[in-house]
Amino acid sequence: MQTTDETWFYAMTALIDTEDEEQVARFFGDVMAAELPSLAGRAPFVASLGEVLARWRITTPAARGAAAVASRRCRPRRCGGRPGAAGAGIRCALATNQHPEQPTYVRENVGYDEVFDGLFYSCELGVAKPDPAYFTEAVRRLGTEPGRTLLIDDNIDNVAAAKEAGLVADLFASDGGRGELDRILGEYVLR
């Protein structure tokens, strides 16, 4: 139900100063791997990013690179209204990978507390998507049964991991909007 501002992508791409798509993909793969401990709330991202930048022979300070990644602010998708079906007694929660500093920003600026019945930030759960343990812990905290919990996600790896954890899950087309959400809810929930 959210997407990210692309400004951070361009700031990070500028660090390696190339338009070679293969190199950009490899660089982002390294950055994302270095990001995992931070997303799980276990380690500061700056040190891990510093190692990646050194391997890529980038002289930009890690703190500046980390600031570019931290500027990746989430924003709600425009799906029109509440994503759940509150009138039908359906609870709706947000499952999101975030660095430790992100939940404060989201709580103060995005307003998800008014929209969702639960907010599951990876850094607060101690594990990040697509680890199946993320979904197991989120369902435990939500107080639902895995087989009666639907994950809607635009990442196929997250959908597969949720299914491995026993949840019902469906892939949301990134450009699907409210129609895609209604399709999925209609298929699983609002029958």
Q: What are the φ/ψ torsions at residue 151 (nearest 5 degrees)?
A: -100, 130
Bigger pLDDT: 39 vs 13: 39
Based on the fold, state whether residues 128 and 163 are members of the same structural domain. Answer: yes
- Model pLDDT, residue 119: 93
Rounded-to-integer distance, Cα 94 and Cα 50, Å: 30
Looking at per-residue pLDDT, the higher value among 72 and 135 belongs to: 135
79 pLDDT band (50/70/90 cuts)?
A: very low
pLDDT value at residue 102: 79
Task: List all residues 6 or more positions away from 84 whose beta carbon is below 8 Å from its beta carbon.
Answer: 90, 91, 92, 116, 117
% residues pLDDT > 90 (the chain): 42
**pLDDT band at residue 190 using 50, 70 and 90 as cut-offs:** low
CA of 28: how far to CAs of 44, 65, 131, 144, in Å? Answer: 18, 12, 19, 35
What pLDDT score does 70 carry?
A: 62
Model confidence at 169: pLDDT above 60: yes
Q: What is the mean pLDDT of residues 62-83?
A: 60
User: Which tokens in the block code for residue 76?
Assistant: 């709600």
Cα–Cα distance, 178 to 181 (Å, whole number): 5
Q: Note down the domain range covering 13.
A: 2-70
Question: Looking at the structure, do residues 167 and 91 belong to the same domain, yes or no?
Answer: yes
Total count of domains within the chain: 2
Domain boundary among 42, 70, 98: 70
Residues 114 and 182 in one domain: yes
Task: Indicate if 124 and 30 belong to the same structural domain.
Answer: no
Same domain? For 66 and 82 the reply is no
Q: What is the pLDDT of residue 11?
A: 78
Q: What is the pTM of this model?
A: 0.77
Q: Which residue has the higher pLDDT, 171 or 177?
A: 171
Could you tell me if 62 and 143 lie in one domain?
no
pLDDT tens for each residue of 86-111: 556 788 899 999 888 778 877 888 88
What's the confidence (pLDDT) of residue 75? Answer: 53
Q: What is the CATH number of the domain that holds 179?
A: 3.40.50.1000
Report whether the peptide linkage leading into residue 130 is cis, meaning its omega lies within 30 degrees of zero: yes
DSSP string, 118-146: EEEEHHHHT--TTSHHHHHHHHHHHT--G
Token pair in block for residue 134: 């993320």
